[in-house]
């Protein structure tokens, strides 16, 4: 994705990639491919973080980022829900890693809500 894109579009794109990776991770857990699922989920989180950064940038540039910020809040809740479901299907170290991922999604929710309040 080229860096000369409008930060609002970039944020939308990054959120889409985060959602796609989350969906893939969920399928992988269901197939018992937990390690690959964790790697995929980590990439999802990285994209989510980028989406928040881009939304923040858009807002700093004076653009109306309300729509994407609302999407980020909603998506972060959905991500937490899906990750929790993945946790239920794993145990041991993998489950702990997923709990950290869920915490990260919770942090994204806080970041998005703070951005919304600005």
Q: What is the pLDDT of residue 87?
A: 97
Q: What is the pLDDT of residue 4?
A: 63
Q: What is the pLDDT of residue 57?
A: 97
Give the global pTM.
0.94
Q: What is the pLDDT of residue 2?
A: 46
Taking residues 19-25, what's their average pLDDT?
Answer: 98
Residues 6+ apart with CB under 8 A from 75: 15, 18, 19, 48
Binning pLDDT at 50, 70 and 90, where does residue 5 land?
A: confident
- Please write the tens of the pLDDT for every residue from 72-114: 999 999 999 999 999 999 999 999 999 999 999 999 999 999 9
Q: How many residues does the chain have?
A: 118
Token digits for 70? Answer: 């609302």
How many angstroms separate the CA atoms of 79 and 77, rounded? 5
List the Cα angle 69/14/90 in 5-degree steps.
95
Q: Residue 3: is its pLDDT beyond 80? A: no
């Amino acid at each position: 994705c080229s860096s000369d894109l409008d930060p609002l579009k970039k944020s939308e794109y990054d959120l889409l990639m985060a959602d796609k990776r989350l969906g893939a991770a969920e399928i992988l857990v269901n197939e018992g491919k937990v390690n690959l699922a964790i790697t995929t989920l980590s990439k999802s989180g990285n994209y989510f973080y980028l989406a928040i950064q881009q939304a923040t940038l858009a807002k700093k540039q004076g653009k109306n980022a309300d729509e994407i910020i609302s999407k980020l809040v909603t998506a972060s809740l959905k991500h937490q829900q899906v990750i929790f479901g993945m946790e239920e299907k794993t145990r041991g170290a993998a489950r702990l890693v997923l709990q950290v991922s869920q915490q990260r999604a919770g942090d994204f929710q806080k970041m998005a809500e703070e951005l919304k309040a600005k």
